[in-house]
Homo-oligomer: A and B are copies of this chain.
Amino acid sequence: MIRLSRITDYGIVLMVRLAQNPDDEARNARNLASEADLPVPVVSKVLKTLAREGLLSSQRGSKGGYTLARNAEDISVPEMITALEGPISLTECSVHPGACSQELSCDVREPWQRINSAVHGALSKITLADLTTPELAGSIVPLSALRVDLESAGLE
């Protein structure tokens, strides 16, 4: 199914909410959880992970909470996915070389590598800012850089 894990889904939604936060005050887990109507422990876990991976800045103590570590334009979709569920790859051998006994004789390996990087390249052009559509507009600037030349990705 090539599905994102639920945790990743939550994480991206939370990132979007943080990106939409007007002032740059830190938002705490309880607050975000009630706003997104999700269990607090889950939200807390996700935010901790995102902070550990460097996508969020955290501040402890009273008045503490989370803020984006960078501008929304500088955070890509693959970064968020990778932070929450490891490297993006369709095939095992791209991530764990040697795990597959077929690796040497596999004649499908090389094409898959290129497909992998093509998908990754396409996603990497999409930023958190692209996902942060103001509730109203929506039709003006859709996913800014979605036009992607996959062939160039294939030649990396």
Contact = CB atoms under 8 A, between A and B. Distances in A.
A118 interface: yes
A92 to B, nearest CB: 7
A10 B121 CA distance: 25
Nearest to A9: B91
Contacts of A77: 115
A32 to B, nearest CB: 13
B88 A1 contact: yes
* A37, A86, A87, A112, most chain B CB atoms within 10 A: A112
A122 interface: yes
A148 B114 CA distance: 14
A3 B3 CA distance: 8
Copies in the complex: 2
A90 to B, nearest CB: 5
Contacts of A101: 37
B138 A102 contact: no
Interface string A84-116: 011111111001000001100011101110110
Contact of A131 (B36, B92, B108, B138): B108
A12 B108 CA distance: 8
Contacts of A90: 2-4
Nearest to A82: B1
